[in-house]
Amino acid sequence: MYKILLVGAGQIGSRYLEGLAKLNINFELIVIEPNLDSLNTAKSRWTSACIEGRNYNIKWSNRVQPQKYEMDLAIISTSSVERCNIVKNVSETFSPKFWIMEKLLAQSKKEIDLIIKATDKSHGAWVNIPRRLDTWHKRIASEFNFKGPIKVIKTGGLWGMACNSIHLIDLVCWWTGEKILSIDTDKLDKNWIKSKREGYFEITGEMIAKFSNGSSLILRSNENFDYEFIKVYLRDNKEIVINENEGFLISPNGKKSNGSLQLQSELTAPLIKKLILENNCELPTLNISAQQHSVFINSMLKHWNVSQKLADSKVPIT
């Protein structure tokens, strides 16, 4: 029987649970969530998602138990401020063969490096940047020639630039096969916005990311803008428009096609089954995502310190 550990059963973690309930292989699941309200919500969602007639082996806890217990897979879906210490603790206690971690990986380059070190004896680690798994985005990737250099522009209102930019960075890396080199934050606003999650902040304005073969990514967030889209300019200047919220794509010839992003609860079961049975998956590896995260986190930390007149070692985003 396969052994799976889920640490963090909040908003994202409970969606993993909904997906795990659909997993049609025998497995034992341990769920760790220190917040009682989140734990109760997770239990409710698990009960609703369970398939009648299937036997489940699940244990609930509010902390990592001190005894050693080897796991096949650890899913870390906590917030960024906790992740580094949790990964080290889980590695020492459970020695997982495989890891899946949520973004943002951490709040500093130092923490990212420590996460890599803590998982270096495992058989593999990946970061859940799920457009690489999404059926619609895989179809888009196969339909168009994204060989760089290309130009991508993401424009929207309060779409969570600090929290979600890493998705767009990885998207360009996946499409083009390039690495991110730098991010210019000079056009970001100086005022940070308190996030819905206590202790975290969001930002608006504009960032420009540069990639290794000349591609670029412009990210724009403006509270007065109520329409969200991604524009892609291919090498021949042909334009693609992707609207993920409304679920459509406009091709260079003007043809409109429909699509939709899959939910985490839909992606989880096939992702984990493939990972456990084939020892691989389509998510970006920890090393690939860590490089992207490091460039992004360093740029955001610099802007945080300059705009707030601080000298912090971590940037409070998740």
User: Residues 122-148: pLDDT tens digits?
Assistant: 999 999 999 999 999 999 999 999 998
Looking at residue 56, its pLDDT comes to 87
Three-class SS of residue 175? helix
Return the beta strands (E) in 102-202 as ranges.
124-127, 151-156, 180-184, 193-194, 201-202
Q: Is a pLDDT exceeding 90 seen at residue 310?
A: yes
Radius of gyration of the chain (CA): 20
Could you give phi then psi for residue 207, rounded to 5 degrees?
-125, 150
Looking at residue 236, its pLDDT comes to 86
User: Residues 219-268: pLDDT tens digits?
Assistant: 999 999 989 999 999 988 899 999 999 999 999 999 999 999 999 999 99
| Distance of alpha carbon 153 from alpha carbon 211, whole angstroms | 14
User: 18 with 103: CB under 8 angstroms?
Assistant: no
- The enclosing H or E element of 115 equals helix 109-118
| Distance of alpha carbon 84 from alpha carbon 297, whole angstroms | 14
Residue 59 exposed, middle or buried by CB count within 10 Å (0-12, 13-18, 19+): exposed
- The enclosing H or E element of 3 equals strand 2-7
| Distance of alpha carbon 239 from alpha carbon 241, whole angstroms | 7
Three-class SS of residue 62? coil
Q: Is a pLDDT exceeding 80 seen at residue 67?
A: no
Smallest Cα–Cα separation from 61: which of 86, 89, 102, 29? 29
